[in-house]
Amino acid sequence: MPRRLDGGEHRLKGDEMTYYTYDPTTKRLTAMSNVVTMPDGSHVANPPAAQCAALGAYPLAQKNPAIPEPPPGKVAVPDGYELVNGAWQRAYRFDAAPSPLPRTFSKLKIVAALMQSQVWEQVKQYIIDAGLYDLYLAAQDFREDNEYFLQGKSVLMSQLGWDNAQVEAILSAAEADA
C-alpha cells in the first residue's frame, strides 16, 4: 500500500481506484490525479468512473490475458495497452523470432572426437600448413560463425570426404557447456 509523507497509509474508500490515461505514442499509462480539472474548469476530487471515462481514464484490468500463442517463426512482444471492457489491459504484437545465436564448440571435445575418428593428425597438419597454429593454440573454443572455423571446416570436409551429417555428428557432440 502506498505510504504518505507522514508515514500513514493511503486508504481507498468504497469503489475508489486509480484511473489511467494512455498515450499511444509512448505506449505508456499515466495515473490520473485524485483531483481532476473537468472540461468546464471545475475541480473534482475522486471523480466517479463515468467522469474518468469521459476524460479517457480507465482502471487497469484486474487480470491480464494470457500471452497469445505466436504463429511459427514469431514471438509475442508487449505492445502497449488496449481498452477492453472499460479497463486497460496489456496488448501484444508478433515480431519475427530472433535468429538463433551461433553455436560455440569446445576445442577439447572437437579434438577428442577427431582423435577417436582417427583424423586428428590430418586436421592438425591442415592447421599448421594454413598458418593458423598459433591462433589454434590461443583459442579457448570455436564459434560456428568464425571465418577461420568455416574455412577450415569446408577444406577438411573436402579433404576427408565427409558430408554434412558426419561433420554435424562431431559438432553437436562438441557443443560447449553453457
C-alpha 6/C-alpha 12 separation (Å) is: 17
Domain count for the chain, please give it: 2
Does residue 121 sit in the same domain as residue 157?
yes
Position 73 in a domain? yes
Does residue 86 sit in the same domain as residue 133?
no
Position 141 in a domain? yes
Please tell me the predicted confidence (pLDDT) of residue 111.
Answer: 93
C-alpha 178/C-alpha 176 separation (Å) is: 6
Q: Which of 96, 112, 137 is the last residue of a domain?
A: 96
Position 157 in a domain? yes
pLDDT tens column, 46-71: 888 888 888 889 998 888 788 999 99
Does residue 78 sit in the same domain as residue 119?
no
Regions of the chain short of the pLDDT cut 70:
1-16, 178
> What is the DSSP secondary structure assignment for residue 24, as one 8-state letter?
T
Please tell me the predicted confidence (pLDDT) of residue 155.
Answer: 84
What is the reported pTM? 0.50
C-alpha 147/C-alpha 144 separation (Å) is: 8
pLDDT tens column, 17-27: 788 999 999 99
Q: Which domain holds residue 131?
A: 104-173
Task: Provide the b/e sequence for 89-123 (b: ≥16 CB within 10 Å).
Answer: bebbeeeeeeeeeeebbbeebbeebbeeeebeeeb
Does residue 109 sit in the same domain as residue 73?
no
Q: Which of 96, 114, 149 is the last residue of a domain?
A: 96
3-state helix, strand, coil in the chain (%, to 5): 30, 25, 45
